[in-house]
Structure 1
Amino acid sequence: MDQQLLIDAVNQKMPFGKYAGRKLLELPEPYLVWFHKQGFPQGKLGEQLALMYEIKLNGLEGMLKPLLK
């Protein structure tokens, strides 16, 4: 995986919904689980949300917090 893609995903802001404006890494895990069950949006945002789901599922969130800008 390209390092810049990971940095971009961690710092991407949620563009809609209850958590609009919050960085994807800071989204609560239950919200990402809901997306996983319902289906992630199409395109780049969906890919980034799926990545955040996997990161949180595997307990790697703390390791990536230093990447937040």
Structure 2
Amino acid sequence: MLPDKNYLIKLAHTKMPYGKYKDRYLIDLPEYYVVWYNNKGFPKGKLGDMLKQVYELKLNGLEYLIRNIQKQYPK
């Protein structure tokens, strides 16, 4: 199932709310950090769902899709 357009726009503009990478766009988190979350377990809720999506995007080399959305739909 494909994520809807509004979800992808929200994902493109969501920033990490805490920790070492606070205020960094999720898509800009280092790959090792997202892999660490995948191994440790993602947080519950929307943030966890978005981090899972970022993991899949990075795993498949598709970060450019989210960066294109950031350019097309500036916040």
TM-score range, shorter chain: over 0.9
Larger radius of gyration: 2
What's 2:56 paired with?
Answer: 54
Identity of aligned residues (%): 48
Instruction: Give the Cα separation in 1 of the matches to 2:54 and 2:8.
Output: 9
What's 2:9 paired with?
Answer: 7
Runs of 5+ consecutive residues of structure 2 not aligned to the other structure: none
Q: Which amino acid is the alignment partner of residue 47 of structure 1?
A: D
Deviations, residues 5-60 of structure 1 (Å, cap 9, x unaligned): 01111210100111000010111110000000000000000000000000000000
Q: Which amino acid is the alignment partner of residue 25 of structure 1?
A: I
Runs of 5+ consecutive residues of structure 1 not aligned to the other structure: none
TM-score of the pair, normalised by structure 1: 0.93
Instruction: Give the Cα separation in 2 of the matches to 1:66 and 1:8.
Output: 13
TM-score of the pair, normalised by structure 2: 0.86
**SS of equivalent residue, structure 1 residue 6:** helix
Q: How does 1:1-69 map to 2 (within 5 A)?
A: 1-68=3-70, 69=74
